[in-house]
Chain A
């Protein structure tokens, strides 16, 4: 079974802090994704990566950056956290072909105070 592991289930950070969310997958998938999930808005794609050191903006990249130095690890970075970035963050991975199905981690609930 594919395992996508997000390093934290819950995080509480202060406004202005730099925040790192880590995600690791163990199935040698080429594609990795970061989504945020908000009530009434569903899932929105922040960034994705289709190879090491490659990244592409999703639908809502503002205020975020990403890093993919190794194939199995994809990090989401909030350069200066703000309260409107309080959300559930979901990491996902998929094999190169067709980019589906997506395999998700259990999510990180981030609260910015």
Chain B
């Protein structure tokens, strides 16, 4: 069945460092892809999305590009801040409308 694999955390970076969180997927057809973020004590919020190959989603300085050839949707940010510390979830919407989440990657940003 469809699945999402993302890099295990925790990921610890210094402020202003470059961030990459890897995400790959297995799915039938061409699913829509998402990144969600969960700040401490809160529910998940949609961070960005892409609905077709080569689309780039972006929000709050984060970007991810839908790569069909490598079945990937890696999350990147050029300069992270302490306030970016959170858990990040990669997800896909399958052909039968299920939302499938990865296991989440905890990000710690040190001042």
Contacts and interface: CB of A to CB of B under 8 A. Distances in A.
Contacts, number: 46
Contact of B42 (A41, A42, A106): A106
B99 interface: yes
Contacts of A4: 43
B89 A99 contact: no
Interface stretch (B12-20, B44-52, B67-75, B78-86): B44-52
Interface in A71-102: 90, 92, 98-102
A60 interface: no
Interface range for A: 10 to 19
A105 B43 contact: yes
B56 interface: no
A102 B97 contact: no
A99 B103 contact: no
A102 B70 CA distance: 26
18 contacts: A40-B103, A41-B103, A42-B101, A43-B44, A43-B101, A45-B98, A90-B43, A92-B44, A98-B93, A99-B93, A100-B32, A100-B49, A102-B46, A102-B99, A104-B43, A104-B44, A105-B43, A106-B42
Contacts of B32: 98, 100
Interface residues of B, number: 19
A107 B45 CA distance: 12
B101 A99 contact: no
Contact of A42 (B41, B46, B89): B89
- 5 closest Cβ pairs, A-B complex: A104-B43, A42-B103, A43-B101, A104-B44, A101-B46
Given A40-B103, A41-B103, A99 B41 contact: no
A88 to B, nearest CB: 10
B34, B45, B49, B99 interface centre (most CB from chain A within 10 Å): B99
Contact of A98 (B45, B97, B101): B97
Most buried by A among B32, B49, B97: B97
